[in-house]
């Protein structure tokens, strides 16, 4: 069937900011969809609020809007662009929900838009629990006993039928937010209320618990001729009860016979047909009783998903790309398989390896949150590894996590038996290692299975690894020399996936020694191709993974001597003779290192391709665009450890390696790589060290005559106390070499400092703690610049909305600055240039400044790509990452025609998106430790409007009427006056705590006093929040005591979705935005239009 | 672990570890790309004379059970090649390990070798004879041995696997929770006795019989050498020609018997049965370079235009062009455009090269059994 001729223009909705449950896998799918549809000749209109995506690159779609993902804005875009069709299945739950909303509002009908991929009926049938249940009944499939309820009363009745333990699943929430398991009536009541509240349609499914059952997922595709294929099957290591996004998962299924697998396959096909997904991919989850094999359908996602991204990377079958083509009417058998080229996409991939995904968590960022895993997703990223056996795959995945683990290290050895059992019983992010420890301590597989419900097949594999570890340790004790170690055993260890690092621990030596010994014995990895077909056809796409395979050999009847025999290693890497550069990716997403760095890596690939280089990507994050085999010329899906990277470099022999774009992950490898004789492109590792090392950095600033807040280094608790006294409180404390503000805190007195040193860090001579003067109320400024060593161009100067001290990743910022004097901005630029030249930066550099009372202080210099690079690029239309990559390959700014810094006529505001809703009990106050998962951009002609858009994009409602509650520390009271006036002028009323009320009244502002919670009088502020009498909250705090006192305000604001500001600057920006919104209508403009009006470069 | 060696007839030597039965075995080495279903593959009589290498790397995971078998008497393969046999099996239906199953039935296996390299080699150079030997062996001696082996081309392997006497079949398809019970029929037969089908056993897979049973047939299985006259004497309503091992041209008696049956009764053939029909009609067959063995091949039904994902296991193929005017091509393999099915222009006869019975593999093509039933009923 030919592709549809009745549509020409297609609207794609992106998934918005990175949040838990919806991450950069939707950049991957959206980017693929844009490329696929344009390849077929369609015009693509793209809307996404997330500037850190590749999909919002101006040349990815024909017209790109970085605008809030709300139905009002979308209607404006539809009215302007008049698309013929809307593809709702690429942007996760966000796009699906918006599509439903647009249909219900009549927008889709009004403009005659065709939904392609999945129609409204299919979306609703799959998403609405009640309808889904009826659909499954119709095709004779079982689902867990369940009742959908919309009120607490209904819920109480429902549980009598469902029985405990009961699972609560709110409808239409992301990653199952608000879901939970209740074991008794009390727990149930609390969960029910919360779940009803979180569901946008106030509907919750009360469901029979199948906790501990085996969990499976199938990725299904269907075309409009009703051809259905299964792309990938996935078996979860963690049984039912842990959200699949938080589970370790393995592809393909391991413990099902063909009969059982086909039964699941048949069910999946019946489901996609019954739900009526016309074309494209769906993800279907099943639970299976380990005792009887009873199979229940858990859920179906009628769109591409995190799992489909994983499945695409796991099999080499690009689900989103094919789904986009199917949506415009092509059939599976009309689309070629990219990898074999000669066979069509109408087949089921078969794989000849095992894929393991392990999620990455960020509980260390939220110490108040309970680090246990439930049916609501909490992980912030994931890694995938490929190995020929599960053991190899698992151990590769473990070291890919970059969580200071290289295998089954012993967890806390002091853990007693009872504590260990609890760690096994309650799913948690380190359970895998605790299972290893339990085996080490002699627990049987049966015993561990009965506690964890993890399938014995997985457990026995882990047992083999642990047993092997013991064999290795034993041997280390018995051989005199390491060189006496049996080659066969060493090879077997590598075949089982042991890292050199873990082997060195077991053999009581160091990693380099293991590597040298191993290479001496010829034990080196071979690379195999991910080819969708188990080698049945020749693969054309170099998508590679490493494995250890025994060499074989060839003889003839005349062969006389084994010495003549030449060992053959079947390595499929086949490196080319082209000039080539390796780009190291950023590994798993985590707070502090997310999609922004993947964006930079992908830009580097594009840039180097333009210069004619062969690009080689190494990364282990399945969610990303960088690990699309279509992005770089060659893709190695490998852990980013020195061992794995060096092995690839041995084979590829590139001209150089780029470590600047992937954040801290590759940067950490700069020195070891250089030591191993690898050419690190761009800024020298020594310059990086000069910027990172406190003492050297101090000298550098001294040399350039630049200011820095008073600071000191402490190598002991006593030294820290002494230093802080010398500098004067408040001080900012942080461990050296951190990203994302890990364990960074501001302390106001010696008592808090003492507490911090005991709690947050293990200080030592090698790992000192940095003590900096905290500049209160300073304005923070971020600058991104590019340098070729002789010339520097500033890409963008960003003024933060929140004051210095709030992590730059968590604060909003404005490009260009909205309040700084031009003289200051110029001075900042000059200082940036001086720093870049002194450090001989080749490529990107980011500098953080603080401005206080017209004095400029330098907080930090990072000679590498920063988190703000994509934001700057989208705001200005200049891809500074691309330019930087070209400079690192030897071009100069002059050669690239870059002479002036970009100047824009609009304002772009970046806002952060925080995951507090996921971590009950965590205070929402911002601080020096980064907590945001993603970002959005608001862009308009005026700061107020741009800020308002950024807030809308970040799902923070700007209040347009009602009551403002103010509770601020003394020093903020003056600043509140003007803000309160602005609100009153725009029709708001003010409520405040007694102290603030008196102060405001003294300034002639009408304010009504409200009781504090700890004053004991009712109604207090939390009562007002609950009864929805408050529309906006301004709450700042001075110390940890006031923080404790007011936490209930912020928690209830979060729960009841009342917008709030925890800094005066943010409150001011909101007031400003309200004023602008009252007098102006928000408009829309594509970034291509914005960029046209920008000048420079 | 005991050493094992695989030597291919072109001199390639893979050294790995033994599993299953310790011994020596020779056969044509073919690779299979199914990720599940090793027990069905092992017991598929069509693999007689062949050593099967699995491209998926983890075998033995779910053990073995008495239900998922395609023939009586254990595995029919000559040998088994895997990357890793994992002996800790886990499945609620499992009754034992793959390793002991192979040991009990005298099947020699090798593991720990680079099965992907082996697969690529067979893909590029074609299927070839190979030998697996356990323990300390001399590769050169093994090479000599396998080079001296006559091979399986032109050899009638059917006579070894066909039933020795007639029997009736009463088992239905596996269904979760209902195995081994007398089952309901997928297609309701109303108002009269079940149509009778005689199945020529060239090495029939049980799942074919189970499918015929579920479809509503009264089934009698007869030995491959049963004469056409004897079969007609049983007055069947339809005749089914089964799958089986080896070179179709070597099964001369079957070709001549089938020639006598064409046009007399509705006939449905699968795999070797399909090839024998081709030869009986005066057409030609040829050998594929490395055959089709797996569960993921797309086959297009040329009438409906729909694509089925199919179970495949054949080395030979019918040259449907050689039957121009007599038959119509009905199914095509979208991987390599080889013929996968045909229908006679004049007689009630159709056949497919692939395996609609699944076991292992997808159930997409089971409609063909219904099509056979329809044809039989129309003819009654």
Shortest Cα distance, chain A CAs vs residue B199, angstroms: 24
Q: Is the pLDDT of residue B186 over 50?
A: no
- Distance CA(B345)–CA(B331), nearest Å, equals 15
Is B24 designated active site? no
pLDDT in tens, A414-460: 889 999 999 999 999 999 999 999 999 999 999 999 999 999 999 99
Average pLDDT, chain A: 93
What would the mean pLDDT of A530-545 be, rounded to a whole number?
95
Under the banding of pLDDT at 50, 70 and 90, the label for residue A410 is very high
- Least-confidence region, from A31-45, A725-739, B201-215: A725-739
- What the block records as the tokens of B177 is 């929770």
Residue of chain A whose Cα is closest to the Cα of B300: A333
pLDDT over 70 for what percent of chain A? Answer: 97
- Distance CA(A564)–CA(A356), nearest Å, equals 40
Give the pLDDT score at A632.
98
CB A175 within 8 A of CB A245: yes
What would the mean pLDDT of A259-280 be, rounded to a whole number?
96
**Greater confidence, A762 or A139?**
A139
Peptide bond into A801 cis (omega under 30): no
What would the mean pLDDT of A175-179 be, rounded to a whole number?
69
Under the banding of pLDDT at 50, 70 and 90, the label for residue A739 is low
Q: Which of B309, B312, B311 is nearest to B301 (CA)?
A: B309
B229 at A interface, C-beta within 8 A:
no
Is B317 designated active site? no
Under the banding of pLDDT at 50, 70 and 90, the label for residue A813 is very high
B67 at A interface, C-beta within 8 A:
yes
Task: Decide if A229 and B334 are in contact by the 8 Å CB cutoff.
Answer: no
Q: In B176-271, which residue ranges form alpha helices assigned H by DSSP?
A: 206-215, 228-233, 252-261
Give the pLDDT score at B189.
47
Is B303 designated active site? no
Q: Is the pLDDT of residue B108 over 60?
A: yes
Residue of B34, B62, B297 for testing the chain A interface, max A β-carbons within 10 Å: B62
Sheet holding A813-815, edge to edge: A855-862, A842-852, A779-788, A792-803, A813-815, A907-913, A934-940
The residues in B 14-53 lying below 8 A from A, measured between CB atoms, are: 14-16, 31, 33-37, 39-40
Give the pLDDT score at A764.
65
- Distance CA(A336)–CA(A39), nearest Å, equals 14
The interface predicted TM-score (ipTM) is 0.97
What would the mean pLDDT of A61-87 be, rounded to a whole number?
97
The closest CB to that of A257, out of B16, B68, B115, belongs to B68
Shortest Cα distance, chain A CAs vs residue B107, angstroms: 21
Task: Decide if A258 and B40 are in contact by the 8 Å CB cutoff.
Answer: yes
pLDDT in tens, B318-347: 999 999 999 999 999 999 999 999 999 999
Task: Decide if A552 and B117 are in contact by the 8 Å CB cutoff.
Answer: yes
Task: Decide if B297 and A262 are in contact by the 8 Å CB cutoff.
Answer: no
The closest CB to that of A552, out of B83, B114, B298, belongs to B114
Q: Which of A731, A734, A712, A732 is nearest to A723 (CA)?
A: A712
pLDDT in tens, A932-990: 999 999 999 999 999 999 999 998 888 999 999 999 988 899 999 999 999 999 999 99
The closest CB to that of A348, out of B15, B31, B296, belongs to B296
Task: Decide if B298 and A346 are in contact by the 8 Å CB cutoff.
Answer: yes
Under the banding of pLDDT at 50, 70 and 90, the label for residue A712 is confident
- Least-confidence region, from A649-653, A657-661, A713-717, A826-830: A713-717
CB B82 within 8 A of CB B59: yes
Give the pLDDT score at B183.
41
The closest CB to that of A536, out of B113, B123, B174, belongs to B123
Task: Decide if B116 and A570 are in contact by the 8 Å CB cutoff.
Answer: yes
Q: Can you give the pTM of this predicted structure?
A: 0.95
A818 phi and psi angles, rounded to 5 deg: -105, -15
Give the pLDDT score at A2.
79
pLDDT in tens, A76-99: 999 999 999 999 999 999 999 999
Task: Decide if A350 and B56 are in contact by the 8 Å CB cutoff.
Answer: yes
pLDDT in tens, A558-614: 876 665 677 888 999 999 999 999 999 999 999 999 999 999 999 999 999 999 999
What would the mean pLDDT of A317-330 be, rounded to a whole number?
97
Under the banding of pLDDT at 50, 70 and 90, the label for residue A547 is very high
The closest CB to that of B334, out of A262, A344, A455, belongs to A344
What is the 3 state secondary structure string of A439-497? HHCCCCHHHHHHHHCCCHHHHHHHHHHHHHHHHHHHHHHHCCCHHHCCHHHHHHHHHCC
CB A391 within 8 A of CB A461: yes
- Distance CA(A588)–CA(A401), nearest Å, equals 6
Under the banding of pLDDT at 50, 70 and 90, the label for residue A765 is low
Q: Is the pLDDT of residue A477 over 90?
A: no
Task: Decide if A557 and B143 are in contact by the 8 Å CB cutoff.
Answer: yes
A152 phi and psi angles, rounded to 5 deg: -65, -40
Cα-only R_g, chain A: 29
* Residues in chain B within 8 Å Cβ distance of A559: 11, 140
Give the pLDDT score at A1045.
81
* Residues in chain B, overall count: 380
* Residues in chain A, overall count: 1097
Give the pLDDT score at A517.
95
Q: Identify the DSSP state of A89.
A: S
The closest CB to that of B92, out of A290, A348, A568, belongs to A290
Give the pLDDT score at A797.
98
pLDDT in tens, B229-276: 999 999 999 999 999 999 999 999 999 999 999 999 999 999 999 999
What would the mean pLDDT of A752-776 be, rounded to a whole number?
80
Give the pLDDT score at A178.
81
Give the pLDDT score at B185.
42
Task: Decide if B93 and A293 are in contact by the 8 Å CB cutoff.
Answer: yes
Average pLDDT, chain B: 95
Under the banding of pLDDT at 50, 70 and 90, the label for residue B317 is very high
pLDDT in tens, A851-910: 999 999 999 999 999 999 999 999 999 999 999 999 999 999 999 999 899 999 999 999
CB B41 within 8 A of CB B59: no
Dihedral (CA of A272, A274, A276, A278) sign:
positive
Give the pLDDT score at B179.
56
Counting one residue from A and one from B, how many pairs have CB atoms under 8 Å apart? 210
Dihedral (CA of B238, B243, B245, B248) sign:
positive
Task: Decide if A255 and B177 are in contact by the 8 Å CB cutoff.
Answer: no
Shortest Cα distance, chain B CAs vs residue A423, angstroms: 24
Give the pLDDT score at A1042.
78
pLDDT in tens, B7-66: 999 999 999 999 999 999 999 999 999 999 999 999 999 999 999 999 999 999 999 999
Contacts of B100 (CB under 8 A, 6+ apart): none
Task: Decide if A535 and B55 are in contact by the 8 Å CB cutoff.
Answer: yes
* Residues in chain B within 8 Å Cβ distance of A538: 123
Cα-only R_g, chain B: 20
* Residues in chain A within 8 Å Cβ distance of B36: 252-253, 256-258, 261
Residue of chain B whose Cα is closest to the Cα of A565: B13
Residue of chain B whose Cα is closest to the Cα of A262: B362
What would the mean pLDDT of A133-160 be, rounded to a whole number?
93
- Annotated catalytic residue within B40, B70, B121, B271: B271
């Amino acid at each position: 069937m030919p592709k549809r001729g009745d549509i020409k223009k297609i609207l794609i909705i992106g998934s918005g900011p990175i949040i838990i449950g919806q991450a950069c896998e939707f950049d991957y799918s959206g980017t693929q969809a844009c490329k696929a549809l344009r390849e077929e000749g369609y015009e693509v209109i793209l809307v996404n609020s997330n500037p850190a995506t590749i999909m919002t690159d101006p040349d990815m779609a024909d017209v790109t809007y970085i605008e809030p993902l709300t139905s009002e804005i979308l209607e404006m875009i539809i009215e302007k662009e008049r698309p013929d069709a809307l593809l709702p299945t690429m942007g996760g739950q966000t796009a699906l929900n918006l599509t439903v909303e647009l249909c219900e509002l009549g927008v889709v009908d009004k403009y005659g838009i065709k939904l392609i991929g999945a129609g409204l009926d299919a979306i609703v049938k799959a998403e609405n629990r009640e309808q889904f249940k009826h659909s499954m009944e119709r095709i004779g499939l079982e689902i867990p006993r369940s009742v959908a309820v919309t009120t607490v009363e209904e819920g109480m009745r429902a549980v009598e039928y469902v029985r405990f333990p009961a699972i609560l699943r709110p409808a239409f929430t992301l990653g199952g937010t608000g879901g939970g398991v209740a074991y008794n009536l009390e727990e149930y009541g609390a969960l029910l209320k919360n779940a009803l509240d979180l569901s946008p349609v106030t509907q919750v499914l009360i469901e029979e618990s199948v906790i501990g059952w085996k969990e499976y997922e199938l990725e299904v595709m269907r075309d409009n001729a009703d051809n259905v294929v299964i792309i990938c099957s996935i078996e979860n290591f963690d049984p039912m009860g842990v959200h699949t996004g938080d589970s370790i998962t393995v592809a393909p299924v391991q413990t099902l016979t063909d009969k059982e697998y086909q039964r699941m396959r048949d069910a999946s096909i019946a489901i996609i047909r019954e739900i009526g997904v016309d074309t494209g991919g769906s993800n279907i989850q099943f639970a299976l009783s380990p005792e009887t094999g009873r199979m229940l359908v858990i859920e179906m996602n009628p769109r591409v998903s995190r799992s489909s991204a994983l499945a695409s990377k796991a099999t080499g079958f690009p689900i989103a790309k094919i789904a986009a083509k199917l949506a415009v009417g092509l059939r599976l058998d009309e689309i070629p398989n990219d990898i074999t080229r000669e066979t069509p996409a109408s087949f089921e991939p078969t794989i000849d390896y095992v894929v393991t995904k392990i999620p990455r968590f960020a509980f260390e960022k939220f110490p108040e949150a309970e680090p246990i895993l439930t049916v609501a997703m909490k992980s912030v990223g994931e890694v995938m590894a490929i190995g020929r056996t599960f053991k190899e795959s698992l151990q590769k995945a473990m070291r890919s996590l970059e969580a200071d683990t290289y295998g089954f290290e012993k967890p806390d050895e002091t853990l007693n038996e009872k504590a260990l059992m609890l760690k096994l019983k309650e799913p948690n992010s380190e359970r895998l290692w605790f299972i290893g420890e339990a085996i080490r301590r002699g627990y049987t597989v049966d015993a561990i299975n009965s506690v964890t419900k993890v399938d014995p097949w997985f457990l026995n594999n882990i047992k083999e690894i642990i047993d092997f570890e013991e064999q290795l340790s034993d041997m280390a004790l018995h051989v005199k020399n390491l060189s006496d170690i049996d080659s066969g055993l060493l090879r077997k260890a590598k075949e089982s996936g042991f890292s050199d690092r873990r082997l060195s621990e077991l053999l009581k030596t160091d990693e380099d020694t293991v590597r040298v010994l191993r290479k001496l014995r010829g034990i080196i990895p071979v690379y195999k191709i991910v080819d969708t077909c188990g080698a049945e056809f020749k693969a054309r796409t170099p998508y590679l993974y490493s494995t250890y395979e025994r060499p074989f050999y060839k003889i003839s009847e005349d062969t006389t001597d084994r010495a003549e025999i030449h060992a053959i290693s079947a390595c499929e890497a086949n490196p080319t003779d082209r000039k080539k550069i390796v780009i190291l990716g950023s590994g798993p997403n985590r707070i502090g290192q997310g999609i922004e760095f993947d964006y930079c890596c992908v830009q580097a690939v594009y840039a180097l391709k333009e210069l004619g280089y062969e690009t080689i990507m190494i990364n282990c994050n399945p969610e990303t665009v960088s690990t699309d085999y279509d992005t770089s010329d060659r893709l190695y899906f490998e852990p980013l450890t020195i061992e794995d990277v060096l092995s690839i470099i041995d084979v590829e022999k590139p001209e150089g390696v780029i470590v600047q774009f992937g954040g801290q992950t590759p940067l950490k490898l700069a020195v070891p790589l250089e030591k191993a004789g690898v050419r690190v492109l761009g800024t020298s590792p020594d310059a990086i060290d000069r910027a990172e090392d406190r003492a050297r950095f101090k000298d550098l600033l001294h040399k350039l005559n630049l200011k820095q807040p008073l600071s000191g280094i402490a190598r002991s608790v006593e030294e820290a106390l002494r230093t802080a006294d010398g500098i004067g409180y408040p001080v900012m404390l942080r461990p050296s070499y951190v990203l994302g503000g890990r364990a960074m805190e501001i302390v106001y007195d010696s008592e808090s400092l003492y507490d911090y040193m005991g709690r947050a860090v293990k200080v030592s001579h090698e790992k000192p703690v940095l003590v900096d003067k905290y500049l209160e109320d300073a304005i923070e400024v971020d600058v991104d610049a590019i340098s070729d060593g002789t010339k520097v161009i500033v890409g963008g100067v960003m003024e933060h909305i929140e004051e210095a001290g709030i992590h730059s990743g968590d604060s909003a910022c404005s490009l260009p600055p909205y309040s700084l004097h031009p003289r200051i901005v110029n001075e900042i630029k000059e200082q940036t240039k001086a720093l870049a030249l002194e450090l001989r930066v080749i490529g990107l550099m980011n500098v953080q400044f603080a401005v206080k009372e017209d004095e400029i202080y330098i907080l930090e210099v990072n000679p590498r790509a920063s988190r703000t690079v994509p934001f700057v690029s989208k705001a200005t239309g200049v891809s500074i990452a691309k330019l930087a990559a070209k400079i690192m390959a030897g071009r100069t700014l002059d050669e690239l025609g870059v002479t002036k810094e970009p100047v824009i006529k609009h304002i772009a505001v970046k806002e952060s998106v925080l995951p507090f809703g996921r971590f009950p009990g965590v205070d929402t106050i911002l601080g020096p430790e980064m907590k945001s998962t993603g970002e959005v951009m608001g862009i308009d002609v005026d700061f107020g409007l741009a800020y308002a858009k950024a807030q809308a994009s970040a799902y923070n409602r700007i209040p347009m009427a009602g009551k403002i509650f103010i509770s601020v520390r003394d020093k903020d009271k003056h600043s509140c006056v003007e803000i309160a006036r602005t609100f009153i002028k725009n029709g708001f009323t003010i409520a405040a705590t007694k102290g603030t009320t008196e102060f405001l009244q003294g300034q002639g502002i009408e304010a009504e006093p409200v009781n504090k919670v700890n004053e004991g009088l009712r109604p207090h502020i939390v009562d007002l929040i609950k009864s929805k009498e408050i529309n906006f909250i301004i709450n700042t705090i001075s110390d940890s005591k006031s923080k404790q006192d007011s936490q209930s305000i912020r928690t209830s604001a979060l729960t009841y979705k009342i917008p709030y500001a925890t800094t005066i600057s943010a409150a001011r920006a909101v007031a400003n935005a309200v004023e602008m919104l009252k007098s102006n209508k928000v408009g829309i403009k594509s970034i291509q239009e914005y960029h046209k009006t920008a000048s420079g470069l | 672990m005991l050493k094992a060696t695989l030597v291919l007839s072109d001199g390639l030597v893979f050294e790995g570890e033994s599993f299953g039965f310790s011994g020596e075995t020779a056969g044509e080495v073919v690779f299979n790309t199914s990720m599940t279903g090793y027990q069905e593959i092992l017991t598929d009589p069509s693999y007689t004379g062949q050593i099967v290498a699995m491209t998926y790397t983890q075998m033995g995971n779910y053990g073995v059970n008495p239900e998922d078998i395609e023939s009586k008497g254990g595995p029919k393969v000559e040998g088994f090649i895997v990357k890793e046999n994992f002996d800790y099996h886990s499945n609620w239906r499992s009754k034992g390990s793959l390793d002991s199953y192979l040991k009990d039935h005298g099947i020699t296996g090798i593991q720990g070798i680079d099965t992907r390299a082996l697969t690529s080699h067979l893909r590029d150079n074609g299927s070839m004879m190979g030998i697996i030997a356990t323990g300390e062996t001399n590769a050169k001696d093994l090479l000599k041995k396998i080079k001296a082996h006559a091979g399986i081309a032109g050899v009638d392997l059917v006579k070894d696997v066909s039933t020795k006497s007639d029997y009736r079949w009463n088992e239905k398809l596996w269904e979760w929770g209902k195995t081994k019970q007398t089952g309901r029929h997928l297609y309701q037969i109303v108002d009269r006795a079940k149509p009778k089908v005689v199945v020529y056993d060239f090495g029939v897979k049980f799942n074919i019989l189970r499918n015929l049973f579920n479809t509503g047939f009264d089934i009698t299985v007869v030995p491959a050498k049963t004469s056409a006259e004897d079969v007609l004497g049983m007055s069947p309503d339809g005749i089914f020609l089964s799958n089986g091992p080896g070179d179709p041209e070597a099964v001369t008696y079957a070709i001549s018997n089938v020639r006598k049956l064409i046009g007399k009764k509705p006939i449905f053939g699968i795999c070797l049965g399909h090839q024998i029909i081709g030869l009986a009609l005066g057409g030609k067959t040829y050998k594929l370079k490395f055959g089709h063995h797996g569960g993921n091949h797309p086959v297009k039904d040329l009438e409906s235009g729909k694509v089925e994902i199919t179970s495949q296991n054949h080395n030979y193929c019918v040259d449907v062009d050689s039957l121009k005017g007599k038959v119509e091509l009905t199914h095509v393999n979208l991987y390599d455009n080889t013929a996968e099915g045909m229908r006679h222009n004049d007689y009630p006869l159709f056949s497919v090269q692939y395996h609609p019975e699944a076991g292992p593999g997808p159930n997409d093509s089971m409609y063909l059994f219904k099509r056979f039933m329809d044809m039989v009923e129309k003819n009654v």
